[in-house]
Chain A
């Protein structure tokens, strides 16, 4: 190590400043120290984590950082107005493509690349979790990876800069997924966080779950066409508040399936920021906030609460079928059925005639959660499940959503 440092120093001095950049710190496969999620604590339900080296065989380069699927993009400029219109997304994508690929600050310690700062730790940890999720696609969905990953790959925006007119802002304390751009985002951390959000495996796999939702439900629903008449136009459900909740619940379910996490946010924030109990999908833990569709007021998270009920129902049905949460194969088998049902759900929903909503094809969500849409979705989802799973899922949907969120007339597939 000493002699390597001396060699680098000599190189650097000899070639002045230019030799000091672009030093590839290690050879492939890269071994990188990351923040790894190692499972839920069986007593508290919180996540267990370790700072430890992991080998990343698919990573092609760390300086800059990319592989055959993911490219980490350094501070792309994102026009929020363009982002809100599907027609202007090319402008966003052009901006992202022209941005530089992110270079994490790493140091080589005995062959292990160790991040020097929090954002570098966040990016390499996120990469490890994203790649694990991408590699698991055939098991999670039953489809080849090429059916889920776009040919142009996926982008991860690191510290994006958002502009709207003359205003520019750098947001913090979040990670996100943006459908139609095939992009994820990692923002700067803050002291509102307990652990850096973008470094947490459950959060990253939750975001990847949004991509799976986009490639299943949203794609089957179609690209919104506001010129189409009536209430069954393509993309009818994309902007529905209840469906946005289901999207969140499906993402939490994905975090469970891929990472084994039963709460994607419990480790992210300080207790005074939000209530992690509202996002627990395993209500056997004491910290879990217990509520149903009839008592949604006990949950403060707006449509996310609908999602939690959906994820809880899937998890509880999994347990009812004697599923073991720590058994990866069992989780994957359950996931494939859920994914197939998610693809089929919009098609089943269209078997009835829907009224036209107040905000057809709007950029923002509908004003309120529509009980009819939630019920329609749940009924359609059950119709797409194999017969062996229907009874357990129906029982939990009825228990959690009751007669309001899962109206009797939509329970045909449960009979």
Chain B
């Protein structure tokens, strides 16, 4: 039993070492995790920030081109416009998305990716002295989402990749298309 465990660990370590060696001279690494804060415009024209966690796995395709598969856990709605005191609506959201992209290894690392995901949105409604017996305002919902993202990675060290990006996103049945601007910072493991 101990021998089998030892062999398994040794195999994983050797595979990981081989992968690391294969990616030793590239700016991208096989696995990376990081954050991707982004800014988006609110209804009243002001801007809000949305936090996001992400993880990437890179797959070498050809030459300097890598496929990038990833997962994102994001949230937004924590910064809301100034609203009346006795009636306000806070639209909050947590989303999970899969990320399918291509990156080009070089001194800078341009990327293009498609994100498919699902957002859970809920509404915190304050309605003081207002009859809500017939209202459906507070009902939460699940919304499929699609985004297209373009970025330009800047390798700040062998492990740290900083990538400003622009994301064009839409949620099904929420007809307003949105543009986000953000910066990803990923650390190779």
Contact = CB atoms under 8 A, between A and B. Distances in A.
Contacts of A49: 129-131
Interface residues of B, number: 40
Contacts of B134: 50-53
Nearest to B135: A51
Contacts of A13: 116, 144, 146
Given A17-B170, A48-B131, A194 B86 contact: yes
Contact of B132 (A50, A103, A119): A50
A107 interface: yes
A118 B136 contact: no
A8 B173 contact: yes
Interface string A250-275: 00000000000000000000100000
A159 B44 CA distance: 8
11 contacts: A13-B144, A16-B146, A17-B146, A21-B175, A49-B130, A50-B133, A51-B127, A51-B135, A116-B123, A118-B89, A189-B82
Interface in A1-23: 5, 8-9, 12-13, 16-17, 20-23
A5 to B, nearest CB: 7
Interface string B71-96: 00000000001111111110100000
Nearest to A20: B170
A189 B144 contact: no
Nearest to B132: A51
Contacts of B176: 103, 105
Given A20-B170, A49-B129, A51-B127, A109 B148 contact: no
Given A8-B173, A52-B134, 9 more contacts: A5-B144, A17-B170, A33-B135, A105-B176, A114-B139, A117-B89, A119-B43, A190-B83, A191-B85
A5 B44 contact: no
B95 to A, nearest CB: 14
A195 B89 contact: no
B168 A17 contact: yes
Given A109-B136, A195-B86, A9 B130 contact: no
